[in-house]
């Protein structure tokens, strides 16, 4: 029998990987390359494990999805 990975555990692992891979000092690197503080970042998905984006990318996403 093939054991499928638990989707919640996959989400947790993806978040942990992003956290450590994107960490630069006290900040994190957005997919666009900008550095931002996690307190200023926002997710662009209802997924609780969505990777946060910088405020600039969040603003652009909001404008595109009005």
pLDDT score for 4: 66
Q: Where are the domains of the chain?
A: 7-64
pLDDT score for 7: 86
pLDDT score for 48: 86
Residue 61 burial class via C-beta count within 10 angstroms: exposed 0-12, middle 13-18, buried 19 and up = middle
Separation CA 24–CA 5 (nearest Å): 30
pLDDT score for 46: 87
Query: Is the distance from CB of 50 to CB of 43 less than 8 angstroms?
Result: yes
pLDDT in tens, the chain (66 residues): 667 678 888 889 999 999 999 999 999 999 999 999 999 999 999 888 889 999 999 999 999 998
pLDDT score for 39: 93
Helix (H) or strand (E) holding 35: strand 35-36
């Amino acid at each position: 029998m093939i054991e499928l990975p638990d989707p919640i555990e996959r989400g947790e692992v993806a978040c942990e990987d992003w956290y450590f891979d994107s960490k630069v000092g006290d900040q994190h690197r957005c997919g666009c390359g900008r550095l931002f503080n996690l307190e200023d970042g926002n997710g662009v998905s209802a997924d609780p494990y969505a990777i946060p984006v910088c405020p600039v990318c969040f603003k652009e996403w909001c404008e595109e999805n009005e």
